Amino acid sequence: MASQEYWKEREARQRKNDIKNEREYRRHIEEIYQNMIDEIEKEINGFYGKYARKEGITIAEARKRAAKADIEAFGRKAKRYVKDKDFSTQANEEMRLYNMTMKVNRLELLKAQIGLEMVAGFDELEKYYKQVMTDQAIEEFERQAGILGKTVINRMKAADAIVNSSFHNATFSDRIWMYQDMLKNELNSLLQTGLIQGQNPRRLATHLRKRFGVSQSNAERLMITELARVQTEAQKQSFERNGFEEYTFLALGNACSKCKKLDEKHFEVKDMMPGENAPPMHPYCRCSIAAYEDSEDYEAWLDFLDKGGTTEEWNRLKNEEKSDKIQLTEDEKRALLEYKSFQSYKINELLRNNSDINSLPEEEKIFVRTLDSALSKIPKYQGNLLRTIDFSDWPNSQRKADGYANEFVLDETIIIDQYWSTSKGVGYNKNANVKIYIQNAKNGRDISSVGLDEKEVLYERKSQFVVISKVFQDGIWNILLEEK
């Protein structure tokens, strides 16, 4: 099967599932808006019921001083909302502004009461958006891992960063609260005009629902567009983590002319820019992208997937092929076996204390050069790696672990003089005092390709890493590195 056909079929199936989910998102957004309208209409009807005469409410009546009891009741309700609804930072800021600007006449109190319901509604909307978008990012990481083979170390952290990033100079949260400001200003104007014209509450409610309908449409459009942005960014990070340098644009379904012009064109991952060469190209964009590589091996991999195989199985078969092609001398094979069996501690201790191998005893010097030669012939591993260090048998084990962790300085480069053993995947060592994670590894030697430990990846001496983060938690040092 041609690669374009494979990806289009796969992404089209995914989009059908996305559209099905969108119905639930729209239903929930509609419910949030309907609850806001219901509560606001209660406030307006209560206002008319309290102050209206036969001829309605004059603007002069509306601007009379509000009763102290009404103001205090609003204060109690606002406090209850802040406590019970666990408002976000932005929602609390909106409430602070309402409290600061609220005058004590009846009309301003009504506006504040309506504003309180809007803050509560838009706060709920913001939280719902964040949850849906975070779930979408994590789901896409998992989906891409199922296709490409490797995923990120901390998916939740990566998803949170994607969700809260800016798109066209504003975050999703900025836009939600912008809609709230627009709607608030429209409602304030509507109330003012309605009172001046002597409109009854039913007519006012009709105008109110029209304004909310426009805002709800904007909110739905924002949700669909932001989900496309989140999905694209998760795909991009997955491509990078799996070593793909190019991607292809896939115009799906009833794509617009703008998207059709990009269909099946290839771009570099580093130059990906939603709105220019990646989805979303426009609001409600449902196009997609796929990893791309111009090689026979890439086409063979897709054909293997199309026939029901997995990327993990494909990689195992390719490693077996590489193993057959690796030509190690007998001395090199012996050096690898000796290192794995009993030489690692001794030789690494010598290398830690002697940066120049020429200063080593002759026998060890020959061993190091032979092992260097063997490792240079072994394929490199791509993926995430873990190294754990257990100091539990040492006297003052925590002090020893702290001293070791202090060698890793945040944002600086560390050079490892010795050979460095790491493991594929997460692994588990309940006694580990230090856990070192290496993300997006590309330089470690996969010794499973020569029939040794299937999980071990061995770094050559003098490997360099940048310290990305270092956290001490629950008695364990967690250190994140990237190869330099």
With H, G, I as helix, E, B as strand and everything else as coil, classify residue 87.
coil
* Cα gap 122→125, rounded to integer Å: 5
Residue-wise pLDDT for 40-63, tens only, equals 888 888 877 777 654 456 556 656
Bigger pLDDT: 54 vs 34: 34
Tell whether the model's pLDDT for residue 114 goes beyond 60. Answer: yes
**Cβ atoms within 10 A of the Cβ of 86, count?**
10
Q: Which residues contact 67 (CB under 8 A, 6 or more apart)?
A: none
The pLDDT of 453-477, averaged and rounded, is 90
Note the pLDDT of residue 147: 81
Residue-wise pLDDT for 60-77, tens only, equals 665 666 667 777 777 777
Percentage above 70 pLDDT, the chain: 88
61-65, 243-247, 367-371, 418-422: lowest mean pLDDT where? Answer: 61-65
Note the pLDDT of residue 422: 92
Instruction: Assign 453 a pLDDT band (cuts: 50, 70, 90).
Output: low
Tell whether the model's pLDDT for residue 334 goes beyond 90. Answer: no
**Cβ atoms within 10 A of the Cβ of 105, count?**
14
Task: Report the C-alpha dihedral over residues 41, 93, 79, 181, rounded to 10 degrees.
Answer: 0
Order of all β-strands in the sheet with 266-268? 266-268, 246-250, 288-292
Note the pLDDT of residue 115: 87
Note the pLDDT of residue 370: 94
Is 319 in contact with 457 (CB distance < 8 Å)?
A: no
* Cα gap 213→226, rounded to integer Å: 20
Note the pLDDT of residue 128: 95
Tokens of 166: 């800016």
CB burial string 318-349: b at 16+ within 10 A, e below: ebeeeeeeeeeeeebeebbebbeeebeeebbe
* Cα gap 421→451, rounded to integer Å: 16
* Cα gap 25→31, rounded to integer Å: 10
* Cα gap 280→170, rounded to integer Å: 15
Tell whether the model's pLDDT for residue 205 goes beyond 60. Answer: yes
* Cα gap 402→405, rounded to integer Å: 5
**In the beta sheet, which residues pair with residue 483?**
465
**What is the average pLDDT value for the chain, to the nearest integer?**
84
Note the pLDDT of residue 55: 47
Q: Which of 186, 262, 450, 184 is nearest to 176 (CA)?
A: 184
With H, G, I as helix, E, B as strand and everything else as coil, classify residue 321.
helix
Note the pLDDT of residue 172: 92
Tell whether the model's pLDDT for residue 202 goes beyond 70. Answer: yes
Residue-wise pLDDT for 431-451, tens only, equals 788 999 998 899 999 888 776
